[in-house]
Chain A
């Protein structure tokens, strides 16, 4: 009884923490001023949020083949999402996308001259 209760509690806590990280990432996606900063917020939400929620799902399932597949999805997301974000950021940087903070630093320099 107690072991199953501890396992369910750990799964619920892990899923709730993952939901918190997803909420923070979506808030950053909506509120931050710039493409690069929005991408920075959403990569946090991808790795921590998806990892914690899928770990909670794997805990709640118990030991089946589906648990192994869920952990496989976690490993796959942890490999592919930074790769995709790196590729996208590199392409954006090369194509000269406007950056909000960088432009404000330039304006400060011109004011101080």
Chain B
């Protein structure tokens, strides 16, 4: 019962991720695209955790979600630094 509800909620989150991807495609400035990609990263972390509950293999999926959150943070900080300085070194 709870697993079915979690599956429905993660499908809805995937649809919301596609809506965010629309903003990433049409966004008038590069900052809009970065914000949209950041939101998609957060939604992917949440969907991975919920998939771990649905498939009853929390070990694997939760570790993947943790690493994905780390990589998304590093990417956003790198792009912010590129905006500020115009270079990455």
Contact = CB atoms under 8 A, between A and B. Distances in A.
Contact of A97 (B29, B62, B63, B84): B29
Given A57-B50, A91-B81, 12 more contacts: A22-B46, A45-B39, A45-B42, A49-B46, A66-B58, A69-B63, A72-B66, A84-B80, A88-B31, A88-B79, A90-B80, A91-B80
Interface of A: 8, 11-12, 15-16, 18-19, 22-23, 25-26, 29-30, 35, 38-39, 42, 45-46, 49-50, 53-54, 57, 60-61, 64-66, 69-70, 72-73, 76-77, 80-81, 83-85, 87-88, 90-92, 94-95, 97
A69 B77 CA distance: 23
A29 B23 contact: yes
B59 interface: yes
A66 B60 CA distance: 9
**Contact residues of B: prevailing secondary structure:** helix
Interface of B: 1-2, 5-6, 9, 12-13, 16, 19-20, 22-23, 29, 31-32, 34-36, 38-39, 42-43, 45-46, 49-50, 52-53, 58-59, 62-63, 65-66, 69-70, 73, 76-77, 79-81, 83-84
Contacts of B20: 26, 29
Given A69-B66, A80-B69, A46 B77 contact: no
